[in-house]
Amino acid sequence: MAQAAASIPATTRAAAPRQQRGWQHRRSGGGSGGGAMRQAPRCAAAIKFAKYQGLGNDFILVDNRHQADPVITPEQAVTLCDRNFGIGGDGVIFALPGENGTDYAMRIFNSDGSEPEMCGNGIRCLARFVADIDGSQPRQYRVHTLAGLIQPALLADGQVCVDMGEPILKAADVPTTLQPTQGEAVVQQRLTVDGKEWLFTCVSMGNPHAITFGLSDGTPIKVDELDLPRMGPLFEHNAVFPARTNTEFVEVLTPSHVRMHVWERGAGRTLACGTGACATVVAGVLEGKTQRTCQVDLPGGPLHIEWRESDNHIYMTGPAELVFSGSVGM
Ligand SMILES: N[C@@H](CCC[C@H](N)C(=O)O)C(=O)O
């Protein structure tokens, strides 16, 4: 484990956050959310951090268990996530005191300063982080998030298995204005972007996801042929996704094995997305393309996903590892 100490100017190098959400207990309606935002205090002292990664989706973890509000602002998070001028990361994650009988609460700022409801790779990193800092038992946690209760468990083999709860399919709650095709769900709906008609299934894991396996003319996705930096923003900022969206491009290898590349809301191209992998398997099942148990290969490595019929919950299993720790002056 490497140690680092650095001082990063607290000047803001990015626009104001996409949206400021209240610290609310919300599972559905990943959209604009209500409630007054508690102002995060600007911190004068050095902040201790630890950087973790899950399949290369990397986060700056902050022990924030002494107070209910994040010790740094969204603007400071942008600075810390900068890969040239900061620590570098896809987001900053805060381990907060538990609420409503939970062990901990988690909040996250994306690298652009926006605040998502949930992060799958991030919550595996959070579980590893809290276990590392206090060696706590049990190794199974109840974590309160903006997407509701999420339950990670550290496995004997070093992997982390997370009960991610139930997927949300109602179009208005994803949210998307695309017309539902199956009851209230948007499954294989047509969306024209960049002169092509794509087929999308929309799923919320607390945060919004739009999943495509290909075009309406039958052309399947080939993930190695995608120009993500050009295409990704066209979906992320499309008007049919009022809270923006994470976009997953999926190539089916077999019904139990897919490849997926992601363009994340608020973070751009990342090496992996846990909530995106879960949403991918839900979309695969709804479209009849995958089984409920499926390996999702991401650029950073594989995640094992199971959408269990008995409880309708999704279980995600994958790694979470410490990269280095240090302190940073803000
Ligand atoms: N990488 C994450 C998702 C992080 C949040 C996302 N960028 C959003 O804004 O919804 C994951 O592993 O799930």
Distances (CA, A) of 88 to 20, 229, 233: 22, 19, 21
The 3-state DSSP class for residue 275 equals helix
Same domain, 145 and 19: yes
Alpha carbons 304 and 30: distance in angstroms, whole number = 24
Alpha carbons 166 and 196: distance in angstroms, whole number = 32
With cut-offs at 50, 70 and 90, classify the pLDDT of residue 27: very low
Same domain, 29 and 86: yes
Same domain, 102 and 37: yes
Would you say residue 31 has pLDDT above 80? Answer: no
Determine the distance from the C-alpha atom of residue 204 to the mean position of all C-alpha atoms in its chain, rounded to a whole number.
11
The structure tokens listed for 308 are 């269990």
Q: Whose CA is nearest to atom 3 of ligand 1?
A: 119
Say if the ipTM goes beyond 0.90.
yes
With cut-offs at 50, 70 and 90, classify the pLDDT of residue 45: confident
Say what percent of the chain tops pLDDT 70.
86
The CATH number assigned to the domain holding 209 equals 3.10.310.10
The verdict on whether 81 is a catalytic residue reads: no
**Which of 5-14, 127-136, 166-175 tops mean pLDDT?**
166-175
* Cα 168 to middle of ligand 1, angstroms: 16
Alpha carbons 201 and 85: distance in angstroms, whole number = 37
The verdict on whether 119 is a catalytic residue reads: yes
With cut-offs at 50, 70 and 90, classify the pLDDT of residue 330: confident
Q: How many domains does the chain have?
A: 2
Same domain, 43 and 129: yes
Same domain, 93 and 191: no
* pLDDT value of position 44: 59
Of 81, 125, 161, 273, catalytic: 273
**Using CB atoms within 10 A of its CB, is residue 57 exposed (0-12), middle (13-18) or buried (19+)?**
buried
Alpha carbons 175 and 167: distance in angstroms, whole number = 13
Alpha carbons 299 and 291: distance in angstroms, whole number = 21
Alpha carbons 208 and 134: distance in angstroms, whole number = 33
Same domain, 58 and 193: no
pLDDT digits (tens, 9 = 90+) for 239-282: 999 999 999 999 999 999 999 999 999 999 999 999 999 999 99
* pLDDT value of position 135: 81
Would you say residue 43 has pLDDT above 90? Answer: no
How do 91-97 and 57-63 pair as beta strands?
parallel
Same domain, 159 and 187: no
Same domain, 6 and 137: yes
Would you say residue 25 has pLDDT above 70? Answer: no
* Cα 264 to middle of ligand 1, angstroms: 6
pLDDT digits (tens, 9 = 90+) for 122-151: 999 999 999 999 886 668 999 999 999 999
Summary mean pLDDT of the chain: 89
Give me the domain span that covers residue 206. 171-312
Alpha carbons 25 and 144: distance in angstroms, whole number = 8
* pLDDT value of position 2: 46
* pLDDT value of position 32: 33
Sequence length of the chain is 330
Which residue ranges have their beta carbon within 6 Å of ligand 1? 57, 110, 116, 119-122, 207, 246, 264-267, 270, 273-276
Q: Which atom, in ligand 1's list, is nearest to the CA of 267?
A: 7
- Helices of type H across 48-119: 74-81
Same domain, 56 and 12: yes
Distances (CA, A) of 144 to 103, 151, 221, 283: 8, 9, 36, 25
Sorted by sequence, the CB contacts under 8 Å of residue 263 that are 6+ apart come out as 228, 231, 232, 233, 235, 236, 246, 247, 249, 269
Alpha carbons 11 and 178: distance in angstroms, whole number = 39
Q: Which atom, in ligand 1's list, is nearest to the CA of 91?
A: 4
Would you say residue 34 has pLDDT above 90? Answer: no
Same domain, 298 and 324: no
Alpha carbons 273 and 265: distance in angstroms, whole number = 11
- Nearest Cα neighbor of 278 from 299, 321, 248 is 248
Sorted by sequence, the CB contacts under 8 Å of residue 259 that are 6+ apart come out as 223, 250, 251, 253, 296, 297, 298
Same domain, 160 and 188: no
Same domain, 117 and 209: no
Cβ(19)–Cβ(114) under 8 Å?
A: yes
**Using CB atoms within 10 A of its CB, is residue 135 exposed (0-12), middle (13-18) or buried (19+)?**
exposed
* Cα 209 to middle of ligand 1, angstroms: 9
* Cα 275 to middle of ligand 1, angstroms: 7
Least confident of 99-103, 113-117, 253-257: 99-103
